[in-house]
């Protein structure tokens, strides 16, 4: 069976429909790569695309889309809530089928080199592709933002992995890497006190002694008059979605608050959903392989 890789490029544009349509087309043209999802947020002024397919095809489609975005997005005019340092500042490859993490790292390196060679932008490698553990975390690379990037890159420690040692005036820099599936998972509480969400986020996140492979922050959903615990699950195999949900529910109950809903952003893999259903139904050993569609995909 063919190798399949997922790529989830993030672009610093969530408003201009013509530009978003152009990126969409670039990600749809290449045979062997499928554009599965696109979500654009005008407040964040940011868009996230999900592409899946054969490694070379996905790499080519993302290269074309990034080149298009390079020509049509100018960060010197950018406004938006989301942190960023580049027009396409996060491009993670995720090994999906018949692929190792090492192969996904290789793909990130190939794309990074090509972006530097062809459109002359600086490229940082992150997560599993990082060449220095201190440059593994996206947040560290992005700290200071687009406006602080010129100063940051003057420090030899922040010499990019590919391309020039200064930000491109309109593009900034790209961060390309390889990682496992990331599940963006938010839990809403029937409470408008941000400190409650902060306390729960602190309890459950790995960095303060909570659940492994879980990042969590508190978000004020002012429009809904409620607060949210917003999580990133960086390895659902170690800490499944239901473990995070139950932990937040328990911590909320201890503070006299209730969970009212949760949401998954983007497209979780079937394996993570099977794991959750299997847990609640007490189905020992139940996995995605026990689901009709998984058999369909794996018998082609």
Return residues touching its own copies (CB under 8 A).
6, 34-37, 50, 52, 241-242, 245, 259-264, 267-270, 273-274, 276-277, 280-284, 286, 288, 290-297, 299-300
Angle among Cα 228, 232, 237 to the nearest 5 degrees reads: 130
Nearer to its own copies, 255 or 270 (CB): 270
Residue 222 per-residue DSSP state: G
Q: What is the DSSP string of 76-105?
A: GG---SS--SBTT-BEEEEEEES--HHHHH
Q: Minimal distance in Å, beta carbon 253 to its own copies? A: 14
Of 78, 82, 120, 168, which residue is the catalytic one?
Answer: 82
Nearer to its own copies, 83 or 266 (CB): 266
Candidates 111, 154, 149; CA nearest to 129 is 111
What is the Cα–Cα distance from 121 to 115, expressed in whole angstroms?
Answer: 7
Is residue 177 within 8 A of residue 129, CB to CB? The reply is yes
Nearer to its own copies, 194 or 297 (CB): 297
Is residue 156 within 8 A of residue 166, CB to CB? The reply is no
- 82 assigned to active site: yes
Angle among Cα 97, 271, 250 to the nearest 5 degrees reads: 145
Phi, psi of 255 (to 5 degrees): -100, 10
Q: Minimal distance in Å, beta carbon 294 to its own copies? A: 7
Nearer to its own copies, 241 or 257 (CB): 241
Max CA pair span of the chain:
56
Q: Minimal distance in Å, beta carbon 267 to its own copies? A: 4
Q: Minimal distance in Å, beta carbon 173 to its own copies? A: 29
Catalytic sites, residue numbers: 82
């Amino acid at each position: 069976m063919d190798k399949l890789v997922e790529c989830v490029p993030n672009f610093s544009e969530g408003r201009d429909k013509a530009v978003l349509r152009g990126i969409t087309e670039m990600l749809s043209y290449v045979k062997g790569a499928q554009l599965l999802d696109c979500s654009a947020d005008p407040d964040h002024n940011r868009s996230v695309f999900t592409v899946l397919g054969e490694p070379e095809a996905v790499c080519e489609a993302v290269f074309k889309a990034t080149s298009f975005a390079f020509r049509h997005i100018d960060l010197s005019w950018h406004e938006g809530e989301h942190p960023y340092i580049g027009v396409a500042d996060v491009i993670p490859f995720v090994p999906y089928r018949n692929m190792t993490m090492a192969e996904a790292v290789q793909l990130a390196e190939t794309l990074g080199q090509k972006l530097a060679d062809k459109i002359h932008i600086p490229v940082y490698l992150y997560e599993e592709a990082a060449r220095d553990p201190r440059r593994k975390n996206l947040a560290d690379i992005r700290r200071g933002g687009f406006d602080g990037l010129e100063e940051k890159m003057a420090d030899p420690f922040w010499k990019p992995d590919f391309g020039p040692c200064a930000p491109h005036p309109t593009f900034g820099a790209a961060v390309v890497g390889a990682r496992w599936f990331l599940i963006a998972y938010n839990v809403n509480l029937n409470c408008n006190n941000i400190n409650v969400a902060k306390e729960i986020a602190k309890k459950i996140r790995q960095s303060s002694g909570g659940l492994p492979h879980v990042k969590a922050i508190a978000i004020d959903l002012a429009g809904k008059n409620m607060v949210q615990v917003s999580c990133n699950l960086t390895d659902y195999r170690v800490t499944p979605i239901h473990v995070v949900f139950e932990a937040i529910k328990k911590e909320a109950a201890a503070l006299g608050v209730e969970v009212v809903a949760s949401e998954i952003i983007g497209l979780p893999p079937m394996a993570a959903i099977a794991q959750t259903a299997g847990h609640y139904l007490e189905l020992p050993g139940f996995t995605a392989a026990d689901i009709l569609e998984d058999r369909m995909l794996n018998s082609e």
